[in-house]
Structure 1
Amino acid sequence: MKAKTETKTIKDLVDLHKAQMLKANAEYQRGIVWNSTQKRKLIDSVLRGYPLPRIYLHYVSTSIAGMTSQGLEVIDGQQRINALSDFAQGAFKLFDPVKDATIAKFPSFIREQPCPWAGCNFEGLSDELKTRFLETTIPVAIIEAKGANEVRDLFVRLQGGVPLSAQERRDALPGNFTDFILRVGGKPELARYPGHEFFVRSLAMKPGQDRGKTRQLAAQIAVLFFNRREKGAGNYCDINSAAIDDFYYQNLDFDVGSERATRLIAILDKLAQLIQAGKHAKLRGHDAIHLVLLADALWDDYARNWEERLPGALDKFLTAIAEGNLTKKDPVPSEYWSQYAQWTRVNSDRGDMIGLRHQFYQEKMVVNLGPLQLKDPVRVYGELERSILFYRQEKRCVVCDGSMLWPDVEIHHVEEYSKGGQTSLANGAAVHRKCHPKSKAQTKAVADKLNSVQRAAS
């Protein structure tokens, strides 16, 4: 095999492609797979002066019946060549970084720069931009081989590198949220990113060896945590790859000193102190997620005596999960399987599945923690009880039976507080703010209704 390195202009490649002298070998190439966003961003990169990677071409000379045909087959670079050719022939318009921000997802520093090609196809470019595009050079390796097998072997070797994981790609994104996750999730090859002890010690994860899994979990926790802080504890968002990508792009200007960021770090600090590696069964990603959300619900409203009981409460829950897993094939499996463990295996990163798991998790953990003491022992329910009752009642108001949204939820004392009614789950009912009983007659009507339901259920 011989290889010659040279440069070709985009005009050279476009002309060769248009003349059918530059094409892919369909026997081993995958066809055109880039979408319009990828094509538009490639052209945008060219016009911004970003260098493009080397293209590998196979020189082919075929003689038949005394005539010779010469051409080039694409070994590596098919998607780029096709995008360049399509744009040059007017196939699509480029992104406007501001108007198309939702789709293009350019970082803020790009949106702030002048973009004279915004919304243009090739014909819409100025003469100067047309020239800049067509005269841009790309490094090219021209390969001459003894046979097709050598070319295929080169193709396999070029494609044989380990592709970046989704999180490794996110690590390269600009913006403050990227830096926040690197600091929390860790990238130990860089001294400034050792990773938070909650992940490194409590969960015994290895961010330097797991190709981004620790940072992905940190990102999932952060996305879910920040979404709930913004929209309320009754909200559980998706934390799949697409949802995480969106959050990164939407938070390029993330404030690492904000209340929500410092709160999350404080909670991770506390959990790292309380949950010691080796003293529990190995914690998995979903265990970490629910621990953080539980601590967040306990953080403001309750005296900190829950902290010393948390490790024991977690052990009880993990034991029950392990025992529940043994019953999954039983005619009537344990609730720890049917209402929690099975939801960690199917669509576990979907918001509705996370909500189902957490509803069960916090109810059981509250029992395991024992009596919780409100910091201010008045008639107000804390966030944890509010959340439990909200889901226990399937998000429906006990008064009007209508659907409730989290911001409208209040907790009513079934037995009046003024008559000794306790601020407890057993004596609470979730209601719309507008439906909250005000008079003795209304309070009695709610109590009678609940007693009637309980008698019917028994």
Structure 2
Amino acid sequence: MKAKSETMTVGDLVELHKEQMLKANPEYQRGIVWNSTQKKKLIDSVLRGYPLPRIYLHHVSKSVAGMKTEGLEVIDGQQRINALSEFAQGAFKLFDPVVDAAAAKFPGFIQNQPCHWAHKNFERLGEELQARFLDASIPVAKIETKDANEVRDLFVRLQGGVPLSAQERRDAFPGNFTDFILQIGGKPELVRYPGHDFFVRSLGMKPGQDRGKTRQLAAQIAVLFFHRRESGADSYCDINAQALDDFYYQNLDFDSASDGASRLVAILDKLAQLIQPGKHAKLRGHDAIHLVLLTDTLWDDYVRSWEGRLPEALDKFLAAVAEGNLTRKAPTPSEYWSQYAQWTRVNSDRGDTIGQRHRFYQEKMLGSLQPLQPKDPVRLYGELERSVLFYRQKKQCAVCDVAMNWREVEIHHIEEHGKGGPTSIENGAAVHKKCHPKSATETQALAEKLNGSGRVA
């Protein structure tokens, strides 16, 4: 095999492709698989002067019936050549980085740059931009061999590299959120990114060896955490690959010194201190997610006496889940299987599934963390009790039986606090702010209503 390195212009490649002198061998090539977004971004890269990867071509010479033909077969680069050719023939218009921001997902610095080819096809580019496109150089390796097996072997070797994982690809995204996740999720190849102790020690993860799994979990936790801070504690978002990609691009200007980011790091610091390596059964990604969200709920409302009980409460929950897994085929499986464990296996990165798991998790953990002492003696009920009662009542007000929005929920003492009624789940009722009983008569009426329904003794 002989290989010759040279450069060709986009115009040359387009013309050869148009004249059927540059083809892919269908015997081992996969056909056209790029979508319109990938094609548009390639052309955008050419017009911005970004260098493109090398294209590998097989110089084929044949003699048939006294006639000689020559041409080129594509070994590697079929998708790029096809996209270049289609654009040159007017097949599609390019992205406007601002108008098409949702689909294009260009970083902010590109959106702030002029884009003279926005929403234009090749014909509308004008002579200067057309020339920039057609005259762009692409490195090419021309292979000469009469042994088809050598070409196939080269193709296999070119495709045989390990592709980037989804998180390894995100690590290359522009923007400040990328750096934040590298800091907490770790990338030990770089000294400045050793990874947070919560992931490295408490969870026993290995960010230098796991192809980005630690950073992906860090990103999933961060996305859920920041979404709930913005949308409310009753809101859970998807954390699948597309959702993470979207969050990265939507938060290019992320402030790692913001109150929210500092709070998340402080929570991870505390959990790394409390959850010591080797003291618990192996913690999975979902355990870490729910532990962080629970700690966020406890963080502001309660005196920190819960900290000393958290490791034991976690052990109790993990043990119950393990026992629950053993009942999964039983006629009546444990609630730890039906309401939690099975949902770590099915659609586990969907917001509604995460919410279902977390509501069960926090109610069980709340029971194990008692007694919780509120910081605010006037407010009495914290967000954790508020959340449990909200779901126990199926989001309906105890007074009017009408659906409640999380943001308008208040907790009422069924037996008046001033008369010795305890601040407990059993003595609480979630109500609309407007429905909250304000007089002794209203309080008595609600107590009688709930007593009649079997709610209180």
Q: SS of the counterpart of 2:177?
A: helix
Residues 148 and 403 of structure 1, relative CA distance in 2, 3 Å threshold: farther
Rate the CA distance shift 1:26–1:404 in 2: closer, same or farther, 3 A.
farther
The alpha-carbon deviation at position 445 of structure 1 amounts to 3.1
Distance change >3 Å, CA 379–CA 111, structure 1 → 2: closer
Is it true that 1:69 corresponds to 2:45 in the alignment? no
Tell me the CA shift for residue 63 of structure 1: 2.1
**Aligned-residue offset at 1:338:** 1.0
User: Counterpart in 2 of 1:140?
Assistant: 140
Equivalent positions of 1:404-419 (< 5 A) are 404-419=404-419
1:133-173 deviation per Cα after TM superposition (whole angstroms, max 9, x unaligned): 00001011111222222211111110000000000000000
Gaps of 5+ in 2: none
For the pair 1:204 / 2:243, whether they are aligned, the reply is no
Is the 1:177–1:253 contact (alpha carbons within 8 Å) kept by the matching residues of 2?
Answer: yes
Q: Distance in 1 between matches of 2:189 and 2:364?
A: 40
3-state SS in 2 of match to 1:249: helix
Q: Distance in 2 between the 1:348 and 1:317 partners?
A: 19
Classify the secondary structure of the residue corresponding to 2:57. Answer: strand
Q: Does 1:375 align with 2:404?
A: no
Partner in structure 2 of residue 128 of structure 1: 128
The C-alpha deviation readout for 1:255-313, integer Å capped at 9, x for no partner, is 11111000000000000000000011111101100110111010001000000111111
Secondary structure of 2:167 counterpart:
helix
Find the counterpart in structure 1 of residue 426 from structure 2: 426
Tell me what 1:114 maps to.
114
* Alpha-carbon separation, structure 2, partners of 1:25 and 1:441: 85
Q: Secondary structure at the match of 2:454?
A: helix
Secondary structure of 2:238 counterpart: coil
State the TM-score, normalizing by the size of structure 2.
0.97
What letter corresponds to residue 94 of structure 1 in structure 2? L
* Distance in structure 2 (CA, Å) of the matches to 1:291 and 1:90: 53
C-alpha displacement of 1:321: 1.1
The corresponding residue for 1:443 is 443
In 1, the alpha carbon distance for the partners of 2:2 and 2:454 equals 84
CA offset digits 1:231-263 (Å, max 9, x no partner): 111111111111111000000000111110000
Q: Tell me, what secondary structure is at the counterpart of 1:139?
A: strand
Q: Which runs of 5+ in 1 are unaligned?
A: none
The answer (yes or no) to whether the contact 1:24–1:74 under 8 Å persists in 2 is yes
| Equivalent pair of 1:57/1:75 in contact (CA under 8 Å) | yes
Q: In the alignment, is residue 296 of structure 1 matched against residue 311 of structure 2?
A: no
Q: Distance in 1 between matches of 2:131 and 2:453?
A: 78
Q: Distance in 2 between the 1:29 and 1:215 partners?
A: 34
Q: Which amino acid aligns with 1:201?
A: R
Aligned partners of 1:379 and 1:417 also within 8 Å = no
1:168 alignment partner in structure 2: 168
Rate the CA distance shift 1:51–1:379 in 2: closer, same or farther, 3 A. Answer: closer
Cα offset, 1:379, TM superposition: 4.4
What amino acid is the match of 2:202? S
- In the alignment, is the contact (CA less than 8 A) between 1:379 and 1:423 conserved in 2? no
Per the alignment, residue 227 of structure 1 pairs with 227
274-283 or 323-332, which deviates more: 323-332
Task: Give the residue type in structure 1 aligned to 2:128.
Answer: E
Checking the alignment, whether the CA contact within 8 Å between 1:185 and 1:196 is kept in structure 2 is yes
How much is the aligned-residue C-alpha RMSD, in angstroms? 1.4
State the distance in 1 between where 2:118 and 2:134 align: 18
Describe the shift of the 1:62–1:442 C-alpha distance in structure 2 as closer, same or farther (beyond 3 A). Answer: farther
Read off the aligned partner of 2:214 and give its amino acid letter. T
In 1, distance between residues paired with 2:307 and 2:346? 31
Corresponding letter in the other structure for 1:320: A
Alignment partners' CA distance in 2, 1:370 and 1:270: 19
Alignment deviations for residues 188-232 of structure 1 (CA, whole Å, 9 cap, x no partner): 010000000000000010000001000000000000000001111
For residue 250 of structure 1, what is the aligned residue in structure 2? 250
Report the equivalent of 1:45. 45
Match in the other structure for 2:193: 193
In structure 1, C-alpha distance between the alignment counterparts of 2:144 and 2:394, rounded to whole Å = 69
For the residues of structure 1 that align with 2:47 and 2:224, how far apart are their CA atoms? 37
Q: One-letter code of the match for 2:240? A: N
Return 442-451 or 64-73, whichever deviates more.
Answer: 442-451
CA distance in 2, matches of 1:94, 1:359: 45
Q: Which amino acid aligns with 1:159?
A: Q
Within the alignment, does 1:177 sit opposite 2:209 as a pair?
A: no
AA in 2 matched with 1:383:
E
| Equivalent residues, number | 457
CA distance in 1: counterparts of 2:93 and 2:433, whole angstroms = 51
Q: Does 1:149 align with 2:154?
A: no
SS in 2 for 1:38: helix
TM-score in terms of structure 1 length: 0.97
Deviates more, 1:106-115 or 1:265-274: 106-115
Structure 1: distance between partners of 2:432 and 2:247:
31
The answer to whether structure 1 residue 89 and structure 2 residue 95 are counterparts is no
- Quote the Cα distance in structure 2 between the aligned partners of 1:430 and 1:240: 33
The aligned residue for residue 401 of structure 2 is 401
Instruction: Tell me the amino acid that sits aligned with residue 281 of structure 1.
Output: A
Aligned counterparts of 1:61 and 1:452: Cα–Cα separation in 2? 92
CA distance in 1, matches of 2:157, 2:120: 38
Question: How many Å separate the matches in 2 of 1:396 and 1:146?
Answer: 77
SS at match of 2:376: coil
Amino acid at match of 2:58: H
Task: Give the counterpart letter for 1:348 in structure 2.
Answer: S
Larger mean CA deviation between 419-428 and 286-295 belongs to 419-428
Match of 1:7 in 2: 7
Mapped partners of 2:418, 2:53: distance in 1: 75
- 1:69 is paired with a residue of what secondary structure? strand
Give secondary structure in 1 for the equivalent of 2:301. Answer: coil
Deviations 1:354-399 (A, max 9, x none): 1111111111111111210111223441111111111222222223
Aligned AA for 1:309? R
**How much does 1:400 deviate?**
2.8
TM-superposed deviation, 1:405: 2.1
Identity %: 78
Residue type at the aligned position of 1:187 = K
Moved more, 144-153 or 326-335: 144-153
Deviation at 1:401, TM superposition (A): 2.6
SS in 2 for 1:454: coil
CA separation in 1, counterparts of 2:451 and 2:71? 85
Distance across 2 between alignment mates of 1:451 and 1:288:
39
1:148 and 1:293 map into 2 onto residues whose CA distance is 58
Mapping for residues 298-313 of structure 1, pairs under 5 Å: 298-313=298-313
Residues in 1 aligned to 2:250 and 2:438: alpha-carbon distance in whole angstroms: 43
